[in-house]
Structure 1
């Protein structure tokens, strides 16, 4: 709860920092409304729409309303999926407005002691330090391999947790060992003629919890004729910070990543996580007011490319034999991959090139699944309502395999499969893992 003094400071910061031209660009036309999951799921509540949230921001700037709990609640409930941006005739950069508003509020209100402690651990103590990420992930691996997980489940301990968290524990991937997480290559040679020289953004969670998917990505790039550089001094992309009102932290992480990649002489910087990629391509906006970094950020942003786009560009799907046993496959878009990175057709072309499968397009495949980083934990009720709708569309395809291109989406779809008791009939898989299955290769880098 914000005090009157805090509200006054927040209001002054809104006036000073919010982009009023961008706020005024919103014509209140309502084209964004059908694309907004929280607007539709809340029963068409205007304050839970992009148009309504922009109106609230503008009213705070103009001094017409106080930045009270209702304003904060409206902004917190936004998924940040940015589905409103592609359909906006005025091209309003809603995501930029949302992140600025959240940062202003979070930096100028006094959080409770437990919240301050958690935020400090997560944003300062954990995600900026990859060695600590490995250590924490290693503990999870120990939990899975030691028999502790089996014991916890057998005594029903997980029943003490909210249903979605207990289910989420079931769908976590098998975590690699610390040794595997530490034994990472810095260079992978291409197979055959070198077509491209690329750098790989390995990420924080992707290079720990989803290490197998990173290995599969490197293998596909290698088979596609790419030589790959993986700089050791890269770090977390900063998306979690940027989306959670910790903008300064995200700027520091951005600068470290730019330094890590800028002298590598590569054609592209490849990502395999839609959420990370979308934040990386926004580095030029994040650092636009920094005269030292803005041009460097622009050069970095211009090289970012999703794994599916590079595979499509080098015609991987035409030059490799892709084949799988018969299964019905559908694709769930990563919101940020589609709405920010503008990547939608390449994944579908690659999937449709696999012999033996039947591809079926999912209705509302471009609508958010409700994961949105940690949204499915902090806004569980809304997240599960959105996921329920997504699973209705997925079930209508009768798909055996639901494919996506972002770790959060992947876990959310696995959660949906468990909630619907479909684990014997369907699976969720990252697109690079499925493509590697289709070339009948194992992710051994040699």
Structure 2
């Protein structure tokens, strides 16, 4: 990326200068930041990255490849935000800075052809249209079920791919048939007395590759007394767009989702993926400068709630007994569920209520596992270093079951078990474990 005054101007226009001034350089963020813990490099810390952004805006730092690299190496876990005594919204600064760089590279023709092609396929094609996502996962199901995957392994075709992609291929969940996904009704009544009327945000990856987890979440909401509506016109939340600097696409998806849900008279909009929920909560910032959508976005974000929190709120544990065969369980926080939605307590309350299971709190459960959306694919060295540290803490609990609340975390912990765990370990989404415990008690 060439050093140009146009990029500095674009960053000046994008970034909230008052937000940057809010950083007091106190250092409270340092022990919470995985990339700083790993490197002890000040530029790899939240306050260091804010200083770099401010330096660019003030004309003291040239916005070159080094600036872009430093910003891209941030996981975006946002553990720094709860630790910040000044309440600096680092997430807003990071995403706006990445958007400025992406827009500048595209406008000036500095974006490499390969990057342009990948962004076109992934962001403009795949994740901008849920129907295309379903088609893509249909191809994945064919690959898994037709024998092509077995043949690929026998012929060692994956040896031609990067190591990280080879590893991720082995932990991909089995995609259910499209007919099964299409049979789900749009409106699902509560079991027993109604406690709340909710809309379910089904997501894109969650509703294709992790469809069973969505089905189990709906089953839990029903058992908790929730009447459920699932708007058919909802789309991807836009998180991957936002984190990759594709702000235009994120805004398009935000508007589609707001329009899909605002027609429903519901108490809450329920999510079961920490990353999705956190981005949905940020729609009000994303659309704050749009007079037509700003107020609608605020109403939308006020209704977002994680499924574990609503289960506790409506008295799920008073209605549904839970039990499992004896086992040790630990929980790996979804960074965005914990740091943005403040949803750390509810999953632990639910897990500790399962008869037969012993819950063990993992040291640094609040630290990122290294998944961070597609970070583990784009920054495999850093991600694997962080995962290895994480699995050291997991192994210390001697837990057989690692519970997560986000699809990326789920796959990353599966990879961690494969690389650094034991044969007796498994990774499972909280919704899947709760249904397992509910069915086990019933039987």
Name the TM-score class by shorter chain: over 0.9
> What is the alpha-carbon distance in structure 1 between the residues aligned to residue 142 and residue 186 of structure 2?
26
What is the deviation of 1:263? 1.8
- Alignment match, 1:30: 27
> What is the alpha-carbon distance in structure 1 between the residues aligned to residue 298 and residue 186 of structure 2?
25
State the SS of the aligned residue for 2:323: coil
Out of 70, 74, 99, the residue aligned to residue 70 of structure 2 is: 74
> What is the alpha-carbon distance in structure 1 between the residues aligned to residue 296 and residue 375 of structure 2?
31
What is the deviation of 1:161? 2.7
- Alignment match, 2:434: 435
Tell whether 2:46 aligns with 1:13.
no
Stretches of structure 1 that go unaligned for 5 or more consecutive residues are: none
Gap change, CA 1:441 and 1:252, over 3 Å in 2: farther
Given that 2:7 and 2:100 are in contact with CA atoms closer than 8 Å, whether structure 1 keeps it comes out as yes
What is the deviation of 1:159? 2.9
Tell whether 2:36 aligns with 1:39.
yes
Given that 2:277 and 2:305 are in contact with CA atoms closer than 8 Å, whether structure 1 keeps it comes out as yes
What is the deviation of 1:308? 0.2
Out of 91, 98, 101, the residue aligned to residue 94 of structure 2 is: 98
> What is the alpha-carbon distance in structure 2 between the residues aligned to residue 256 and residue 192 of structure 1?
33
Stretches of structure 2 that go unaligned for 5 or more consecutive residues are: none
Given that 1:126 and 1:133 are in contact with CA atoms closer than 8 Å, whether structure 2 keeps it comes out as yes
- Alignment match, 1:132: 132
Worse-matched range after superposition: 123-132 or 396-405? 123-132
- Alignment match, 1:238: 238
> What is the alpha-carbon distance in structure 1 between the residues aligned to residue 282 and residue 84 of structure 2?
19
Alignment of 1:228-377 (within 5 A): 228-377=228-377
> What is the alpha-carbon distance in structure 2 between the residues aligned to residue 10 and residue 377 of structure 1?
27
Alignment of 1:372-387 (within 5 A): 372-387=372-387
Tell whether 2:185 aligns with 1:185.
yes
> What is the alpha-carbon distance in structure 1 between the residues aligned to residue 356 and residue 48 of structure 2?
47
Alignment of 1:382-397 (within 5 A): 382-397=382-397
What is the deviation of 1:105? 0.4
What is the deviation of 1:361? 0.3
Alignment of 1:187-202 (within 5 A): 187-202=187-202
- Alignment match, 2:112: 112
> What is the alpha-carbon distance in structure 2 between the residues aligned to residue 69 and residue 252 of structure 1?
29
> What is the alpha-carbon distance in structure 2 between the residues aligned to residue 355 and residue 209 of structure 1?
30
Deviations 1:29-73 (A, max 9, x none): 00000100001112x100000000000000001001110111111
> What is the alpha-carbon distance in structure 1 between the residues aligned to residue 92 and residue 189 of structure 2?
38
Deviations 1:372-398 (A, max 9, x none): 000000100000000000000000001
What is the deviation of 1:157? 2.5
- Alignment match, 2:170: 170
Given that 1:28 and 1:51 are in contact with CA atoms closer than 8 Å, whether structure 2 keeps it comes out as yes
What is the deviation of 1:17? 2.2
> What is the alpha-carbon distance in structure 1 between the residues aligned to residue 152 and residue 11 of structure 2?
48
> What is the alpha-carbon distance in structure 1 between the residues aligned to residue 415 and residue 183 of structure 2?
30
Worse-matched range after superposition: 291-300 or 179-188? 179-188
Given that 2:127 and 2:236 are in contact with CA atoms closer than 8 Å, whether structure 1 keeps it comes out as yes
Given that 1:50 and 1:84 are in contact with CA atoms closer than 8 Å, whether structure 2 keeps it comes out as yes
> What is the alpha-carbon distance in structure 1 between the residues aligned to residue 252 and residue 92 of structure 2?
18
State the SS of the aligned residue for 1:357: strand
Q: CA RMSD in A?
A: 1.1
Deviations 1:206-244 (A, max 9, x none): 000000000000000011100100000000000000000
Given that 1:167 and 1:418 are in contact with CA atoms closer than 8 Å, whether structure 2 keeps it comes out as no
Tell whether 2:207 aligns with 1:211.
no
Deviations 1:327-377 (A, max 9, x none): 110000000000000000000000000000010000000000000000000
Structure 1 consecutive aligned stretches of length 4 or more whose deviation exceeds 6 Å: none
Gap change, CA 1:93 and 1:421, over 3 Å in 2: closer
> What is the alpha-carbon distance in structure 2 between the residues aligned to residue 374 and residue 199 of structure 1?
27
What is the deviation of 1:165? 1.9
Relative to the length of structure 1, the TM-score reads: 0.96
Given that 2:323 and 2:440 are in contact with CA atoms closer than 8 Å, whether structure 1 keeps it comes out as no
